[in-house]
Structure 1
């Protein structure tokens, strides 16, 4: 297809509202602003003051607030919502983030660890209609059927429930341009590498009559911004399409070869994905991002490898961290 014209922006800030890790001792720098050590206060009668300092929630899920500035216009989007109904809302409150100012929601895919916080968001949002961009396969029933163990069905999103809460559901397989053409949602990602083959056979989907392997998770999509003079900023949820596939797909869609930043889950954790870590790391090293913030499902082996291969770009992720990128 012809390249999509992605209007450049002057500033983008990605605030991780929920991630697998919360580290209150991480240092900030000119790229990363860390959450304060004292993020909140909770009642605790065992202390003399009757209260104690609390941090932020960490769980196996991902949610990020994306703020894009173009000239004098600023737009705020929510990308995924975490695992539990309350973690994202609690963290937002402790960070002073007003979730009622969100102008749209984007779901990276239908897995419950990215959509669980929609219930909490609905409670905070009130009755105001809110656009939600997603792939039509987010409603598919899925399960994990590990040999020798009972199959575990995964929570399935309800379109009826979301529309009943006032979300304006927008289903798209193709790329979407939001925010006056300055934010790209990739839609389905082309699978072009020979090593990123997706989920193991235990990950299954219901086809209407039977369960079948669902390796591709075709509803997986990413958010892309063109930072003026610096290149692409790519935000992933789990990266089920493959981190390298996603980056190259964004480059093809936009015609912009430079990768400035890659943030989010890269799904390299666990023994099933260990064999592709080296090739993924090498491809990302060749892409040469200025900022690399792998989170969520990336896994400790891949984190170590990426930190060693791209020491100037790699930054540890943590709930509450904000990454401010300026043209």
Structure 2
């Protein structure tokens, strides 16, 4: 169902830039966000700004008519990073009505413990989110990544709902894509060092099948697509959202696009070309997108590109 407005607030991202400016679509966090004790200053306090960490978390507030619903999409990497920034931004996480996890990598779920102490919430996940994974880099014996625990989440009071297929939340106003179709010939996923445990051995895990996105249809504008890492590929994700909804207009693409580093930089050009053809009104790539891809997107879509930063609020209203 189309909505009247969606507001996406980036609580945690890899960057906090206190000098970025606001405009009619984007509101930046003030430089003075957060105040802490610091005895070296007169008055004994200083401003901290917001935390930036290699993780992602966003608050999504959807309004349709007189009804407003707020969801949390991912939770950052550190146990207290998301809640610290929420406090500094004046966000009361008690108002969150549900949680959506984009996938199981630890840099998207680490802050859940801080949230669980405040609320008892429904949580939508893909059933493969509990997959054990590791990175087997050359010259190492492999580093196993922290694995999310279903039992721990249930014990904290979360009501976990596993859904492989697309699902609708908020009275049909929010789409969670479930598994995303892989149709492009260049978005091939993770390189061989990224492995998953299959029950008997470690195997290359290129697809990260638990990767899913959150989609909202803003009336008269088109789709707003929010990704965590975009492991399925930014283009695959956007096109999949269009196929599921029947809406042919991409209004905004926000979140991690996983185009950083030598394994993914070779696909920056075709990704940017395909996204430019979709002609979104707003592109705010953050987290794992990488600076080269951000620069390419800024050059190809100068009117749409907005640099991401912790504490940024995007307001996308119906036409």
TM range (shorter): over 0.9
Aligned match of 1:274 = 265
Q: In the alignment, what sits opposite 1:301?
A: 292
Aligned counterparts of 1:173 and 1:122: Cα–Cα separation in 2? 24
| Alpha-carbon separation, structure 1, partners of 2:81 and 2:100 | 18
Equivalent residue for 1:11, pick from 1, 5, 9: 5
Find the counterpart in structure 1 of residue 50 from structure 2. 56
CA-based RMSD of the aligned residues comes to: 0.5
Write out aligned runs for 1:92-171 (5 A): 92-125=86-119, 129-171=120-162
State the Cα deviation string for residues 66-117 of structure 1 (Å, max 9, x = none). Answer: 0000000000000000000001000000101000110000000000000000
Cα displacement (A) at 1:124: 2.3
In the TM superposition, residue 150 of structure 1 has moved relative to its aligned partner by 2.8
For residue 141 of structure 2, give the secondary structure of its aligned residue in structure 1. coil
CA distance in 2, matches of 1:238, 1:315: 17
Separation in 1 of the partners of 2:131 and 2:317?
Answer: 38
Unaligned ranges ≥5, structure 2 = none
Where structure 1 has 5 or more consecutive residues not aligned to the other structure, the ranges are 1-6
Q: Matched residues in 2 for 1:50 and 1:78: separation?
A: 35
Q: In the alignment, which residue of structure 2 is the partner of 1:172?
A: 163
Q: Distance in 1 between matches of 2:34 and 2:245?
A: 42
2:292 aligned with 1:320:
no
Residue matched to 2:72: 78
Deviates more, 1:40-49 or 1:222-231: 40-49
Q: Secondary structure at the match of 1:124?
A: coil
Could you list the structure 1 runs, at least 4 aligned residues long, displaced by more than 4 angstroms after superposition.
none
Q: Aligned partners of 2:93 and 2:17: how far apart in 1?
A: 23
- Given the alignment, which residue of 22, 38, 42 partners 1:44? 38
- Give the whole-Å Cα distance in 2 for the aligned partners of 1:140 and 1:104: 22
With normalisation by structure 2, the TM-score equals: 0.99
Find the partner of 2:233 among 221, 242, 266.
242
| TM-score normalized with structure 1 length | 0.97
